[in-house]
Amino acid sequence: MKEESAGQFGPDTDQETKLRPARRTETTRAALLARAKRIFLRHSAGFLAVLGPGLVVMLADTDVGSVITAAQSGVQWGYRLLLLQFLLVPVLYIVQELTVRLAIFTGKGHGELIRETFGPLWAWVSVSGLGIATVGALLTEFSGVAGIGEFYGIPRAASLSVCALLLIAIVLTGSYRRVERVAIALGLFELAFFLVAYDAHPSGHSLAQGLLQLPIRNRQYLYLVAANIGAVIMPWMIFYQQSAVADKKLGAEHYRHARLDTALGALITQAVMAAILIATAATLSTENTQASLTTIADITHALTPFLGETIGQMVFSVGTLGAAFVAAIVVSLASAWGFGEVTGYKHSLECRPTEAPWFYTVYILAVVGGAVTVALVPNLVTLNIGVEVMNALMLPVVLGFLVLLAFYALPQEHKPRGSYAFLVMVVSALTAGLGVYGGLIGANLF
């Protein structure tokens, strides 16, 4: 009987014993997967809650002036300025990461922090530079809108009026988060530039060869180097992102995701610049044609024979309009925030127009002033590259304030330290120095 019992139950018991480790492994794997899923969802939710200021300001960074600068770089120098676009990714990230750090750990906008740390005089110096950069940027954005309109037979006054009314309506009728979502939606039209670059069928051999050829002794090459640096790092970007992060009320717990938001934006904006340069280098480089591009209409006309009407006209136009709209929103808001922080008037998109009249008045004046100027004065778009060089010439002041604030205004535990502090100082000095040197020597002033 015992043997029978052993025969009946012994093998089953042995089999059960053998299966236990496998079941435990499956249970452990399921638990790990469930935990990984929870962590992923938690971090995804945290990132999506923070996503916005970095991505918006980077999409705005690829504005109409930047589009023309990248296109002109491809036309005049082929792929020889392509490497610069990639080298500027970490530079752009470092600059805007400091901006995010200052906003999160001080809770203040850029102009307000300069005023509190260095006094009203230096705050006005900083915001004056912002005002100059704002004027230049708005002229390029509205000239781009006017150029696209005229290309399709729409009178300049009509396209500019519609653009200005839309920009005012977007800000007057929404909170910061709503404005942010609209800006991102408009900026995503810039992804059309990737389609244009792909359809240009760039030569891999020519591209690789161009990456290694850097005619750094040529004055015109250095002038476009300065223009590209100025097209990537602009005063209004710092004012906007720091004020936007503060206005969004992001705290220390959001810092990690805010940095990721900024890194993503830096990659996208330089990828867009590279796509534009590749498209024009592959199709319009002076080795193949004597093209001269000074307006968006010039670029669109020139690309049409190579890319076809659908790609060369409609897709490029859509990308340009997206860039112009999101940049106009960001630039105008940066100006309204910056002057509000220095003068002390109430400045927040969370306030209704009746609660912050000066904030909304400055924004409306910036939009209307830019539109009217472009409507009345022709050929302003020829100043696009000059505007970017002007931005590069202001970099010592812009980056100087940013780095000083990082070391003087941040709490001790959040200041840049060690090798990163050294990297911040070296990158800022080299970027500002190269921008100024290229701008002066290219303009035959040095």
pLDDT tens digit sequence for 95-109:
989 998 998 899 888
State yes or no: pLDDT of 201 exceeds 60.
Answer: yes
Pair 39, 164 in one domain: no
Pair 138, 186 in one domain: yes
Segments in 173-289 forming alpha helices (H): 176-187, 192-199, 204-212, 219-232, 235-247, 255-284
> Domain boundary residue among 12, 31, 50?
50
Pair 303, 184 in one domain: yes
Residue, of 389 and 180, whose pLDDT is higher: 389
State yes or no: pLDDT of 12 exceeds 60.
Answer: no
3-state SS string over 51-101? Answer: CCHHHHHHHHHCCHHHHHHHHHHHHHHCCCCHHHHHHHHHHHHHHHHHHHH
Predicted confidence band of residue 33 (pLDDT cuts 50, 70, 90):
low
What is the CATH number for 198? 1.20.1740.10
Pair 292, 427 in one domain: yes
Predicted confidence band of residue 320 (pLDDT cuts 50, 70, 90):
confident
Most confident of 208-212, 299-303, 361-365: 361-365
Which residue segment(s) compose the domain that 74 sits in?
Answer: 54-442
Pair 295, 243 in one domain: yes
Domains in the chain: how many in total?
A: 2
Predicted confidence band of residue 86 (pLDDT cuts 50, 70, 90):
very high
Pair 62, 28 in one domain: no
Q: What is the mean pLDDT of residues 297-301?
A: 72
Pair 45, 156 in one domain: no
DSSP string, 94-129: HHHHHHHHHHHHH---HHHHHHHHH-HHHHHHHHHH
State yes or no: pLDDT of 8 exceeds 60.
Answer: no
State yes or no: pLDDT of 29 exceeds 90.
Answer: no
Pair 12, 120 in one domain: no
- Torsion sign, CA atoms 152, 155, 158, 163: positive
Q: What is the mean pLDDT of residues 111-130?
A: 90
Return the structure tokens found at 49: 């809650």
Distance CA 418, CA 334 (A): 32
Contact in structure between 276 and 71 (CB atoms under 8 Å): yes
What does the pLDDT read at residue 311?
66
pTM of the model: 0.79
Residues with Cβ within 8 Å of residue 274, at least 6 apart in sequence: 70, 82, 85, 86, 197
Return the structure tokens found at 348: 């927040």
What does the pLDDT read at residue 4?
47
Distance CA 64, CA 77 (A): 20
Distance CA 173, CA 327 (A): 19
Contact in structure between 288 and 79 (CB atoms under 8 Å): no
What does the pLDDT read at residue 235?
85
Residue 79, φ and ψ in degrees, nearest 5: -95, 10
Pair 146, 4 in one domain: no
State yes or no: pLDDT of 404 exceeds 50.
Answer: yes
State yes or no: pLDDT of 66 exceeds 60.
Answer: yes
